[in-house]
Amino acid sequence: MSPAIRIEQVSKRFGSTRALDNVDLEIEQGEFFGLLGPNGAGKTTLISALAGLVRVDTGNLSVMGYDVQSDYRAARRHLGVVPQELVFDPFFSVRESLKIQSGYFGIGDNDDWIDEILENLGLASRAGANMRMLSGGMKRRVLVAQALVHRPPVIVLDEPTAGVDVELRQTLWQFIKRLNEAGHTIVLTTHYLEEAENLCNRIAMLKDGRVVALDTTKQLLRRFSAHALRLRTGGVMPKELTSEATESGGWWSIPFNSFDEIEPLLVKIRTAGCEIDSLEIGKPDLEEVFIRVMQGAHHE
Amino acid sequence: MSERSDLRYGGFTTLFYKEVLRFWKVASQTVAAPVLTALLYLLIFSHVLEGHVQVHGVAYTAFLIPGLVMMSVLQNAFSNSSSSLIQSKVTGNIVFVLLPPISYMEFFAAYVAASVVRGLVVGTGVLFATFWFAPLTFVEPIWILVFAVMGGAILGSLGVIAGIWADKFDQLAAFQNFLIMPLTFLSGVFYSINSLPPFWQKLSHWNPVFYMIDGFRHGFFGISDASPWLSLAVVGGCLVLLATFTLNLLKRGYKLRN
């Protein structure tokens, strides 16, 4: 079985800027994959190259085994992309836009599927409305719908929830999760790391056009993040703890691997005469992983 | 998951349909307005010159009508592809056409065919609005159709080039104002080039739009400044050259896939 997406030794320059630098990545069919990185890391360039919107300088990309250049028709039939920009065609209604998009893929009688998408994305009542009349959130839903009209096995969502309300996020993720459960491969880029942590099985992090981390979400959390005792104290933190503790905004954070370590830590603090004002236990989170990976990549 | 496909639908058919629907939805701006403009030209020029000027033995108003029709065909064919592309590029919705499996040949054919349709719709409108003002003959209608379609296709191709090349609306306006307008106005729409001084006559023979209008007018009166076969050769040659150039741009993805 060919991977859903294969990216081999891909590089791309825009003038003196190196947007992608020897990127190698393989995403298996059925994965919910996260592509994370700061602005300018190369995420959108990589997606654009995959979609045939940008031609790379070196390397190969394929979708479901079809090369995006030499076999572009098959590759594009298997790929649905939700672009990052909120774009729409002001001449048409929602339903017209979806029918036209279906036609581009050679699908004529697509009304049943269009109705299903509209229903699932909460757009059914606005199907006849002109695109100009929709709110930003509604336009974003139509973008998602347009990417799905040809039932692509691989769906790429480039920051689909940027600037949209909670209701749309929930509706969108419920629908996308159902598609993933039905076998669709999902590739997601987002700046909302909590979303990526909850949804993605595997994550790649990009910085300056290079993949700087690639692993399952669980492994990344295990490697780069840990539970931490977070406390605000009235006194000075004991010397033996300051080497492992970090301070931010008046809160000290002391990482630990096992809950058995909590009691000895508290004893050390109490013995040093340090009074605890507030205390909480922090869980490992992707934001910490992200920061550490990016800082690590920076120091390389 | 199976993909339901229907051979009646495809990249070319849908893109062509979308482009025609696009201009038809704003027909007051894309069809009615140029018809009115051409009618105003006719009213003003025929008021001033009718009774004073005859061309090839044809009354001036009758001579002017085919020129105005063809000028409208050409200008609107250019406007259709160029304005659609620049709008799509500036607003970003060009991705809807670039993401699907549409070949560069289909892309070119759809935009040019829709431009020809708009040119013919506007040209027909101008003809209906103006032919009440002078007795017209249709001596060889096949020339009328051939030159209208080929002229529309040439200007449609130029519109695709301009739409791809321009990054901003003012760049497109410059293309239109400094190239398309002079070429169409100085092509014998309002006069026979035989009435020009020798230098301007010779210069006019380097203007391909002259052959489009002259050949088109030949279909009405059976009389023209140049042989319709020469006009056909020039117009056909221009179409092949421009189509080849445009297809090459699209194949390379110039300003679209970079």
How many alpha carbons fall within 13 Å on the CB side of residue A218? 1
For residue range A112-165, what is the model confidence (pLDDT) as tens digits?
A: 999 999 999 989 999 999 999 999 889 999 999 999 999 999 999 998 887 778
Nearby residues of A229 by Cβ (< 8 Å), 6 or more positions away: A253, A254, A255, A256, A262, A265, A266, A279, A281, A282
Residue of B nearest to A57 (CA): B258
Q: What per-residue confidence (pLDDT) applies to A222?
A: 78
Q: What per-residue confidence (pLDDT) applies to A51?
A: 96
Segment (H or E) for B58 = strand B58-59
Spatial distance between the Cα atoms of A138 and A97, rounded to a whole number of angstroms: 13
For A97, other C-beta atoms within 10 Å of its C-beta total: 24
Average confidence (pLDDT) over B53-78: 91
Q: What per-residue confidence (pLDDT) applies to B22?
A: 96
Q: Is the dihedral of CA B68, B69, B70, B72 positive or negative?
A: positive
Average confidence (pLDDT) over B58-69: 92
Geometric angle at alpha carbon A173, from A157 and A198, rounded to 5°: 95
| Three-state secondary-structure class, residue A246 | strand
CA–CA distances in Å: residue B30 to residues A177, B33, B65, B78, B168: 45, 6, 20, 12, 20
Confidence check: pLDDT of A218 > 50: yes
Q: What per-residue confidence (pLDDT) applies to A104?
A: 96
What rounded mean pLDDT belongs to chain B?
92
Of the candidates A114, A72, A102, the residue with the CA atom closest to the CA atom of residue B8: A102
Confidence check: pLDDT of A37 > 80: yes
C-beta of residue B156 within 8 angstroms of C-beta of residue B80: yes
What residues in chain B have their Cβ under 8 A from chain A's Cβ atoms?
1, 3-11, 13-15, 17-18, 21-22, 25-26, 88, 91-93, 95-103, 253, 257-258
Residues of B in contact with A150 (CB under 8 A): 3, 100
C-beta of residue B139 within 8 angstroms of C-beta of residue B99: no
- With respect to residue B70, please indicate whether it lies within any of the assigned structural domains: yes
Q: Is A60 exposed, middle or buried (0-12, 13-18, 19+ CB in 10 A)?
A: middle
| Higher-scoring residue by pLDDT: B179, A245 | B179
- Which pLDDT band holds residue A297 (cuts at 50, 70, 90)? low
Beta strand pairing call for A154-158 and A185-189 = parallel
CB contact under 8 A, A108 and B5: yes
Question: What percent of chain A stands above pLDDT 90?
Answer: 60
C-beta of residue B257 within 8 angstroms of C-beta of residue A53: yes
- Which pLDDT band holds residue A235 (cuts at 50, 70, 90)? low
Q: Which of A54, A82, A91 to mutate to test the interface with B (most CBs of B within 10 A)?
A: A91
Bridge partners (DSSP) listed for residue A32: A186
Of the candidates A245, A246, A228, A235, the residue with the CA atom closest to the CA atom of residue A271: A235
Beta strand pairing call for A202-207 and A32-36 = parallel
For residue range B40-50, what is the model confidence (pLDDT) as tens digits?
A: 999 998 887 77
Q: What per-residue confidence (pLDDT) applies to B55?
A: 75
Top mean pLDDT of B60-69, B172-181, B231-240 is at B231-240
Q: What is the DSSP string of B158-171?
A: HHHHHHHH-SSHHH
CB contact under 8 A, A110 and B4: yes
| Higher-scoring residue by pLDDT: B47, B127 | B127
From B4, B15, B92, residue closest to A87, measured CB to CB: B92
Confidence check: pLDDT of B74 > 80: yes
Beta strand pairing call for A185-189 and A202-207 = unpaired
Average confidence (pLDDT) over B119-138: 94
Which region among B107-111, B131-135, B137-141 has the lowest average model confidence (pLDDT)? B131-135
From A87, A102, A103, residue closest to B95, measured CB to CB: A87
Q: What is the DSSP string of B145-157?
A: HHHHHHHHHHHHH
Catalogue the E-assigned strands of chain A.
5-14, 17-27, 32-36, 58-63, 66-67, 79-82, 154-158, 185-189, 202-207, 210-216, 227-233, 246-248, 251-256, 276-282
CA–CA distances in Å: residue B213 to residues A209, A233, B46: 55, 89, 19
Q: What per-residue confidence (pLDDT) applies to A183?
A: 95
Residues of A in contact with B91 (CB under 8 A): 87-90
CA B96 to chain centre: 26
Bridge partners (DSSP) listed for residue A210: A207
Top mean pLDDT of A9-13, A14-18, A165-169 is at A9-13
Confidence check: pLDDT of B150 > 70: yes
- With respect to residue B1, please indicate whether it lies within any of the assigned structural domains: no
For residue range B165-219, what is the model confidence (pLDDT) as tens digits?
A: 999 999 999 999 999 999 998 898 888 888 888 898 899 999 999 999 999 999 9
Segment (H or E) for B54 = strand B54-55
- With respect to residue B55, please indicate whether it lies within any of the assigned structural domains: yes
Q: What per-residue confidence (pLDDT) applies to B53?
A: 72
Containing domain of residue B161, as a range? 11-252
* Domains held by chain B: number: 1
The ipTM assigned to this model is 0.88
How many alpha carbons fall within 13 Å on the CB side of residue A42? 25
Spatial distance between the Cα atoms of A167 and A194, rounded to a whole number of angstroms: 16
Q: Which of A86, A104, A143, A149 to mutate to test the interface with B (most CBs of B within 10 A)?
A: A104
CB contact under 8 A, A107 and B4: yes
- With respect to residue B189, please indicate whether it lies within any of the assigned structural domains: yes
- Which pLDDT band holds residue A255 (cuts at 50, 70, 90)? confident
- Which pLDDT band holds residue A166 (cuts at 50, 70, 90)? confident
C-beta of residue A154 within 8 angstroms of C-beta of residue A63: yes
| Three-state secondary-structure class, residue B194 | helix
- With respect to residue B174, please indicate whether it lies within any of the assigned structural domains: yes
Domains and CATH numbers, chain A: 5-221 (3.40.50.300), 226-283 (no CATH)
CB contact under 8 A, B100 and A83: no
Spatial distance between the Cα atoms of A82 and A177, rounded to a whole number of angstroms: 16
Spatial distance between the Cα atoms of B136 and B147, rounded to a whole number of angstroms: 18
- With respect to residue B2, please indicate whether it lies within any of the assigned structural domains: no
Confidence check: pLDDT of B5 > 50: no
Which region among A59-68, A212-221, A249-258, B152-161 has the lowest average model confidence (pLDDT)? A249-258
Question: What percent of chain B stands above pLDDT 70?
Answer: 96
- With respect to residue B243, please indicate whether it lies within any of the assigned structural domains: yes
Q: What per-residue confidence (pLDDT) applies to A299?
A: 47
Q: Is A186 exposed, middle or buried (0-12, 13-18, 19+ CB in 10 A)?
A: buried
Measured in angstroms, the CA of B255 and the nearest CA of chain A are apart by 10
Confidence check: pLDDT of B88 > 90: yes
